[in-house]
Amino acid sequence: MNKNDFAVKPPMGWNSYDCFGHSVDEKEFKENVDYVAKNLKQYGWEYCVVDFCWSYPLKGIINAPHQNFENGKFDVELWLDDYGRPIPAPTKFPSANGSFKYLADYCHERGLKFGIHLMRGIPRQAVEYKLPIYGTDGITADMIISGEDCDWLNHNKGIDMDKEGAQAFLDSIFKQYAEWEVDYIKLDDAARPYSLGRRKEVEGYHKAIMNCGRPMVLSLSPGAISHESAPVEEAEHFIKYANAWRIKDDVWDNVRHLRDIFPIAKKWVNFIGEGHYPDCDMLPIGRLLKCGGFGGERDSRLTQSEKEVMLTLWALMRSPLMMGGHLPESKGEDLKFYKQKEIISINQNSTDNRVIVDSDKYPVWGAKVDDKEYQAYFNIAKGIVPKYTRINIPEGYKAFDVWTGQEEKQRKGKIGFWLKPMSVKLIRKEK
């Protein structure tokens, strides 16, 4: 298998995190699968992903739930099998019976694909209880740890890939995932800091996918909070072993988050390629935070123009597109952003993606789809002052505003327009 064949185009789908955090359950997941299958599959959306803590039995707000270990036992125990491998908690997934195969079948029967979140490392429970590693002779979980643990969710301990049994553990969990018919893996706490230990673990996860014999998209998520995520100097390593990697920490419906991603994205635009994509994060558009936390349940706070800025940049970056809202309760004004055929086409099919004008306030990005040239004129300045822009249109070409669908009127081969802060004019030029 060639891992680049697993994601010939940027993955598109829905992920449970922005609306349910660690609390998504079987009913909530199926409701969104049904919505995607009925209303959005025809636009290219296909993956449905259960995000983190699916083996943790309790529901609650979005913040990462810690485990406490005292007097030889945990206050709340993950659901693990006899070999320390996470299995779905029946309190959230009552039909699971130790496997996600039934949810994968539910997606596949509707023409969709199924994904799960996975924390880097091995469960701390398996380590404390010295559970055996499947397929080994006498190696237990406590014998393969590295000490490079996640610092924001204490469920797992890092794996030392140089130790005997380390790859066997990863192979054993992916053997399960192949049996469950998983199509997509979101590997968390993987991309920052991208230490030697994390690099070796990422290589181990890649190898485990290859060993299991089932194609699975491998998407790396950073974990700990800071401004940037994946270090650009490690681009070749990400390209070799992953299909996608987050270039920024979580992006919420916050204009500052949106503005901050522009200088990061420009560092990564030259590393886009078939089967490997820098990831700008999920799309926080729709009904968010059903589980509470981070400001509470709400519709996306981004304005219409800010959502256009987000979708335009994500399209020109060819970022994976993962819807974040609870779809059945999202408003039509948000859901329409997931039905923008031309924006989706740019994301899925464009070439020559580039920064044309590098500016902190007024960047210009470009790309091509077949014989169509796209240019996006952004105003990401702070304040309220609009900016007037005039651009040349080659002789014999027409210019169209992608977001309005209207042809632009030319005067002496030029068009002009005003842009208010946090807005974009996406122009298509064609003969």
What the chain holds in terms of domains, given with CATH numbers, is 3-349 (3.20.20.70), 364-430 (2.60.40.1180)
Q: Which residues pair with 299 in a beta bridge?
A: 287
**What is d(CA 297, CA 115) in angstroms, rounded to the nearest whole number?**
25
List the pLDDT tens digit at each of the 431 positions of the chain.
999 999 999 999 999 999 999 999 999 999 999 999 999 999 999 999 999 999 999 999 888 899 999 999 999 999 999 999 999 999 999 999 999 999 999 999 999 999 999 999 999 999 999 999 999 999 999 999 998 999 899 999 999 999 999 999 999 999 999 999 999 999 999 977 888 999 999 999 999 999 999 999 999 998 545 567 788 999 999 999 999 999 998 999 999 999 999 999 999 999 999 999 999 999 999 999 999 988 999 999 999 999 999 999 999 999 999 999 999 999 999 999 999 999 999 999 999 999 999 999 999 999 999 999 999 999 999 999 999 999 999 999 999 999 999 999 999 899 999 999 999 999 999 99
Closest CA to 158 of 203, 207, 201: 201
Q: What is the pLDDT of residue 327?
A: 98
Sequential DSSP letters for 244-271: EEESBS---S-HHHHHHHHHHHHHHGGG
Q: What is the pLDDT of residue 55?
A: 98
- 191: CB partners within 8 A, 6+ apart: 198, 220, 221, 222, 223, 229, 230, 238, 245, 246
> pTM of the predicted model, to two decimals?
0.96
Strand 69-70 relative to strand 73-74: parallel, antiparallel, unpaired? Answer: antiparallel
With tokens 């210009």, the residue in question is 364
Phi, psi of 247 (to 5 degrees): -100, -5
- Render the burial of 27-63: b for 16+ CB within 10 Å, e for the rest: ebbbebbbbbbeebeeebbbbbbbbbbbbbeebeebe
Q: What is the pLDDT of residue 191?
A: 79
**What is d(CA 366, CA 357) in angstroms, rounded to the nearest whole number?**
9
Evaluate whether 103 touches 114 at the Cβ level (below 8 Å).
yes
Closest CA to 182 of 290, 100, 83, 253: 100
Closest CA to 280 of 305, 294, 260, 256: 260
Burial level of 329, CB count in 10 A (0-12/13-18/19+)? middle
Closest CA to 34 of 187, 321, 26: 26
Tokens of 121: 């490392």
